[in-house]
Amino acid sequence: MDKINIRDLSPGEIEDFIAHLGKEKYRARQLMKWLYRFNVASFGEMTTLSRELRGHLEDTARLDGPEIAKIQTAADGTKKVLFHLRDGLHIESVLIPGRNHWTACLSTQAGCAMGCRFCFTGSLGFQRQLTPGEITGQLTALKFQTPEGPDVKNVVLMGMGEPLANYDHTVKAVRIMTDDAGMGLSNRKVTISTCGLAPQIVRLGRDICVNLAISLNAPDNERRDYLMPVNLRYPLETLLKACRDYPMPGRRMLTFEYILMAGVNDSPADAEKVARLLNNLHCKLNLIVFNEFPGTEFRAPSPEAVAAFQQMLLRHHYTSIIRASRGSDILAACGQLTGRPNGL
């Protein structure tokens, strides 16, 4: 029988597992610190646990996680990290430089089934869900096995896959990341991105409190139907109702991501429609210039078109930021990840 992977267990499940072995529940907290604060590779290194308990753990459990296979560095300093998984598949994460910190962009699926037309990842199809340990394992590997690791302060679940289509594993991974005995991240430092799975947005708001980013990309259903097949299931009216009901405490705002594609959704009139669409929503907009990839039908708009779109949103008093495209020269930017060793 295959041993259980401890990295796939939530804090409560680790407590239950330890209790099942006949040991005190507080040992679970010790075990988690060894996993997430020291990133040990074996139970034998967990010296605060008794030799007997370490022996039981060796017999019944394992500590698998993704292994770094390759790191590429872009001209702007962004780093794309290729991970090898236990079954031979590959996924990618990205380390994004900030002024005095780094942001880790993690994957939640191998491939993606959403089929967004502007996304290279989606054009390659879906392979499988990542386990909680494969999601958190990207972060522990980045934090402990790269020079930038100690300065990783923010986590965005915006890599390969749709996080809310892998709902249970994504939520469990976030709980591990934000648990004091786990990675100890503040939930203010964690963002989940979604293409618009409305029922899961409602559920997420009840289950955990993290930042939410919604991939919008069109001001009306007709164009969003074409760009994002998910809109056929959850049109804008349904999506925005779920967004209005999502709890954002204090001064925190929802984020709407809007990828600008030349001649598709980038006119000032489109910006006017977006402003009306998001009326009375406490939100900000990230404007992303389309990142081209081999075989795509879309092109990036001109800087003038991008600036005009932003100005229209600012005129309507929206916080609107033109997000710098990071790592596009190594296919590490938004929508460009493939999980392939050659990147293509």
Q: Which residue has the higher pLDDT, 198 or 280?
A: 198
Global confidence as pTM: 0.95
Does residue 106 lie within any of the structural domains?
A: yes
Residue percentage of the chain with pLDDT more than 90: 86
Would you say residue 79 lies in a domain? yes
Catalytic residue among 92, 134, 162, 257: 92
344 is a domain residue: no
Residues 181 and 124 in one domain: yes
297 in catalytic set: no
The answer on 213 and 83 residing in a single domain is yes
Q: How far is CA 162 from the centre of its chain?
A: 8
pLDDT band, residue 121 (cuts 50/70/90): confident
Structure tokens at 283: 């939100």
Regarding whether 265 and 197 lie in a shared domain, the answer is: yes
Indicate whether 34 pLDDT > 60.
yes
Least trusted range by pLDDT, from 30-39, 140-149, 257-266, 333-342: 333-342
Residues 149 and 249 in one domain: yes
In the predicted structure, residue 161 carries a pLDDT above the cut 90: yes
Q: Is 116 a domain residue?
A: yes
- List the strands of the sheet with 283-289, edge to edge: 67-73, 79-84, 90-97, 102-105, 152-157, 190-194, 211-215, 254-260, 283-289, 319-323
Place of tokens 């760009």: 227
Domain ranges, residue 54: 4-62
Is residue 337, in this structure, part of any structural domain at all? no
Our answer to whether residue 92 is catalytic in this structure is yes
User: Are residue 112 and residue 40 in the same domain, yes or no?
Assistant: no
CATH, residue 51: 1.10.150.530
Indicate if 86 and 165 belong to the same structural domain. yes
Residues 145 and 130 in one domain: yes
Mark whether 146 and 120 lie in a shared domain.
yes
37, two tokens? 């604060």
- State the pLDDT confidence band at 311, using cuts at 50, 70 and 90: very high
Residues 161 and 255 in one domain: yes
* In the block, residue with structure tokens 């199809």: 125
For residue 13, being part of any structural domain is answered with: yes
* Rounded-to-integer distance, Cα 287 and Cα 301, Å: 12
Is residue 45 domain-shared with residue 138, that is, in the same domain? no
d(CA 33, CA 18): 14
Please tell me the predicted confidence (pLDDT) of residue 269.
Answer: 98
Distance between CA atoms of 288 and 71, rounded to whole angstroms?
24
Residue 149 and residue 71 in contact, taking contact as beta carbons nearer than 8 Å: no
Residues 74 and 41 in one domain: no
Q: Of these residues, 105, 195, 283, 334, which one is catalytic?
A: 334
* 239-275 residue pLDDT tens: 999 999 999 887 889 999 999 999 999 999 999 999 9
CATH number of the domain where residue 291 is located? 3.20.20.70
CA–CA distance from 288 to each of 114, 134, 207, 322, 323 (Å)?
A: 19, 28, 29, 6, 5
Same-domain check for residues 99 and 40: no
The number of distinct structural domains making up the chain is: 2
Residue 326's pLDDT band (cuts 50, 70, 90): confident
339 in a structural domain: no
Q: What is the pLDDT of residues 60-119, one digit of tens each?
A: 999 999 999 999 999 999 999 999 999 999 999 999 999 899 999 999 999 999 999 999
Neighbours of 12 (CB within 10 A): 12
